[in-house]
Amino acid sequence: MKLTIIGTGYVGLVTGACFAEVGHSVICVDNDLKKVELLRGGGIPIYEPGLEDLVKRNVASGSLSFTGSTAEGVEKSDVVFIAVPTPPQPDGSVDLSYIERVARDIAGAMTSYKIVVDKSTVPVKTGEKVAETIKRYCKAKVDFDVVSNPEFLREGFAVEDLMKPDRIVVGVGSQRPAAAMRELYAPFNAPIIVTDINSAELIKHAANSFLALKISYINAISIICEASGANVEEVANGMGMDARIGRRFLNAGLGFGGSCFPKDLSAFIKIADTLGYDFQLLKEVQHINADQMERFVKKLTDTLWVLKDKKIGVLGLAFKQNTDDVRMSPAIDLCQRLLKEGAAIRVFDPQAMTKAKGVLPPGPTTTYVAEMNEVATGCDALVVATEWPEFKLLDLDRARHAMTHPILFDGRNLFDPAEMEKRGWVYKSVGR
């Protein structure tokens, strides 16, 4: 099939590359012409495992191309995906101006029947607004269908999630576009749920909010574990073996961050509010998440007493492993808190250093180091802030001798407490 993806962020670029990989002809559109030229030349503006090879291979084969013209994309495609940002507004609601702008652009370019697919995460009833906008601004007065097709991609695992999805959700206003959507997704061999548009839009927000709830729940349990002398890892393992619960997203730590969970949680609370329901449960999820960082910082101050003029090494800047995304990253939040308290920091991340410099500029109090084993040099304490697997390979003996005192605050529970004590470390983790 001939597809156009409008927007080349995490969702749009991964979606376009994966569709091209399974045999569709894909045009990716972006209004950032520098990004378009970068992609045409084989460059990738984001780090996502497997994505670079996927893009280069399909550009070379001719099945994937890039343009700055929405009109070109609409003209040459049967199905047009909207994958533009939906950033949060100060009150927690979603800024839909990008969606509206693209809907108008699509309408202005349409000269024949199109299926317009909303891939961006949007509030319920957005599909109705997109359809209304296209109808209003389509000069050719041609027929079209609007479909909601929410993404369920985890940054760091997005290619894997799209190529081997748990399920595919398709929300339609009529059955007319359903067959085309089934054909589009047939190569992925996954269950396809066809529902109404409003339900499809709610599924995305409901799913992300539930996963955020799961993380906050285990973080709340970690507090009880610390107070009682229990081990949150063992509790999570015991819970997770229950098939009704599952082990995933039951990892205690600094709390959730990134561009999805915090935004989607706030948006869902706001959506519920506009529909007349006070979603107090999700408000408590937000409170627990914020409180988790406060508790972790208190561990540092309880141990180090005064943070001013202390040198602290921080391992991790991305909001999670396998990505360079630092948007709403707990690791960045922690660094900013340490700097505010007067500490100096030495930081390292396998992929997020460049983007982190946009929010934590290098200077007298912020030093970026080239290798993880250099972070500990001259530090009063070391912090693990992101769950990169390679951090488990830290040379603990080298780090211990390089520090003024061997203190490690493990915000991701990567190390074994008994082993750390045996090696001579003062070791503080979460819920253990």
The answer to whether 386 touches 315, Cβ cutoff 8 Å, is: yes
Strands 168-172 and 144-148: antiparallel
Read off the tokens for 266: 């706030």
Angle between helices 232-240 and 197-228 (to 10 degrees): 140
The sheet carrying 192-196 orders its strands as 64-67, 25-29, 2-6, 79-82, 114-118, 144-148, 168-172, 192-196
Q: Count other Cβ atoms within 10 Å, centred on residue 55.
A: 25
Considering only CA atoms, which of 271, 354, 349, 337 is closest in space to residue 299? 337
Strands 64-67 and 79-82: unpaired
What one-character-per-residue DSSP string does 226-289 give?
HHHT--HHHHHHHHHTSTTT-STT---SS---TTTHHHHHHHHHHHHHHTT---HHHHHHHHHH
For residues 318 and 330, what is the distance between their CA atoms, to the nearest angstrom? 8
How many helices and strands, by DSSP H and E, does the chain display?
A: 16, 14
Name 311's bridge partners: 344
Catalytic residue among 18, 28, 138, 260: 260
Does the annotation count 379 as an active-site position?
A: no
Sign of CA dihedral 373, 375, 377, 379: negative
Helix (H) or strand (E) holding 66: strand 64-67
Catalytic residue numbers? 260
